[in-house]
Amino acid sequence: MTSKALDSLLNKNIADLKERGLYNEIDPVQGPNGPEINIGGKTLVNLSSNNYLGLATDERLKEVAKQAVDSHGVGAGAVRTINGTLDLHLELEKRLAEFKDTEAVISYQSGFNCNMAAISAVMDKHDAILSDELNHASIIDGCRLSKARIIRFNHSDMEDLRTKAKEAVESGQYNKIMIITDGVFSMDGDIAKLPEIVEIAEEFDLITYVDDAHGSGVLGKGAGTVKHFGLQDKVDFQMGTLSKAIGVIGGYVAGKANLIDWLKVRSRPFLFSTAVSPADAVASTKAVEILMESTELNEKLWENANYLKAGLKNLGFDIGDSETPITPCVIGDENATQAFSKRLNEEGVYAKSIVFPTVPRGTGRVRNMPSAAHTKEMLDKALDVYEKVGKELGVI
């Protein structure tokens, strides 16, 4: 017999979320997550995937993954520190270090795990973390886990950051202070002001940490936000995922060799969670090699992104101040945002609604993620649907 108190709590809160337009419906995809997807037997133009470069369905990655299953099995079999470190993991880390132009890399099971692992392995209750107010949830949780004092600064406000950094240093309360920021902010598509952040860090001797989940494969000709600004020698932690532009699963932290050595002996997800599968490791390696050999996919991504952004802006949609392929169409009201996304779906475009708590209340948006795999015909279809639904619902 289940708890009546629990049932009452859950049923009441789920009903409340549905009434306020905050309940997230999950739509299972039938088949691959490509530029078009099949949901409920219907083919839709897919504008909600993080598969920036189309590598999640790339034949070259699929082939090496199949070979890895035959040569190494379907699972790593253990945590990395026992005997779960395969030669394939080491090759992945070697390639990633070359890609990011750092001394070394440690790989993890997910990007979320990276932030849970790396922040708490270095920062503790005697320290402070200066965190951008729009940082990703995994950064927020990683900071909380560290038990360090969290000092939020206004989004990309360098004057506020400098003021709070100065106050934290001069207080004498903290052994270490870290500045942590997304490289690309995933809901608005703007880029962190890394040159200014590094300047402030150098002024006050602060640790720098950049979560480049949405920058790797996108900026810096694919090498990421830090490389985009030429700051790979100035940033202590470069975190990235293998599940977005890379198209597979996992995450990594790149930095100096002594940092990576420390994370291998002190970061808990590395110590206590089984390593990613052989197929995932070798497919990620192949994706990184493709990006190192050619910028073709990166250039195609930007071509498609600029085309879609210009089209939506010309139609009169509010696409914010995005500087990257991430293209929000801001609607505002949560229920109106959900209704807009539903109508797009009915007309053949899958663009997911994003509402609180992922974004602040009253800033609901439909978030579009064009990829290198989209054709102009797909994007034109999406723009036609946006125009039809936008006029129908009074958004434009």
Query: Cα dihedral angle (277, 89, 115, 254), rounded to 10 degrees?
Result: -160
Residue-wise burial string across 143-168, b where 16 or more C-beta atoms lie within 10 A, e elsewhere: bebbebbebbbeebeeebbbebbeeb
Is the bond into 278 cis (omega within 30 degrees of 0)?
A: no
Name the average pLDDT for the chain. Answer: 96
Quote the pLDDT of residue 282. Answer: 98
* More confident site: 18 or 106: 106
CA 88/CA 73 separation, integer angstroms: 12
DSSP category for residue 358: S
DSSP secondary structure string, 202-257? HHHT-EEEEE-TTTTTTSGGGT-HHHHTT-TTT-SEEEEESSSTT-SS-EEEEE-H
Helices (H), the chain: 4-19, 59-72, 87-100, 111-122, 137-146, 158-171, 194-204, 225-228, 257-266, 268-272, 278-293, 296-315, 334-346, 376-392
Q: Which residues pair with 107 in a beta bridge?
A: 252
Q: Domains in the chain, start-ordered, CATH in brackets? A: 22-51+295-392 (3.90.1150.10), 58-293 (3.40.640.10)
User: pLDDT value at position 88?
Assistant: 98
Q: Which residues are catalytic?
A: 186, 214, 244
- Which tokens in the block code for residue 286? 């192949």
CA distance 184 to 136: 10
Tokens 């880390």 belong to residue: 93
Tokens of 157: 């406000």
The mean per-residue pLDDT over the stretch 277-306 comes to 98
Q: How many CA atoms lie within 13 A of 253 on its CB side?
A: 31
Give, in order, the Cα–Cα distances in Å from 372 to each of 34, 124, 148, 166.
10, 41, 40, 43
> In the prediction, which pLDDT does 24 show?
82
Q: What would the two tokens of residue 121 be? A: 């392995």
Statement: residue 376 has pLDDT above 80: yes
Amino acid at 317: F
For the stretch 45-94, pLDDT in tens is 999 999 999 999 999 999 999 999 999 999 999 999 999 999 999 999 99
The pTM (predicted TM-score) of the whole model is: 0.94
Taking 80 as the threshold, does the pLDDT of residue 1 lie above it?
no
Name the burial class of residue 12, with classes exposed (0-12), middle (13-18) and buried (19+) by CB atoms within 10 angstroms of its CB: exposed
* pLDDT tens per residue across span 234-291: 999 999 999 999 999 999 999 999 999 999 999 999 999 999 999 999 999 999 999 9
Q: Decide: 218 and 246 in contact? Cβ < 8 Å.
A: no
Task: List C-alpha distances in Å: 140 to 102, 150, 158, 159.
Answer: 25, 9, 20, 22
Could you read off the pLDDT of 10-52 as tens digits, one per residue? 999 999 999 888 888 899 999 999 999 999 999 999 999 999 9
Report how far residue 155's alpha carbon sits from residue 187's, in angstroms, rounded to the nearest whole number.
13
Q: Reply yes or no on whether the pLDDT at 334 is more than 80.
A: yes
Query: What average pLDDT does the segment 188-206 reach?
Result: 97
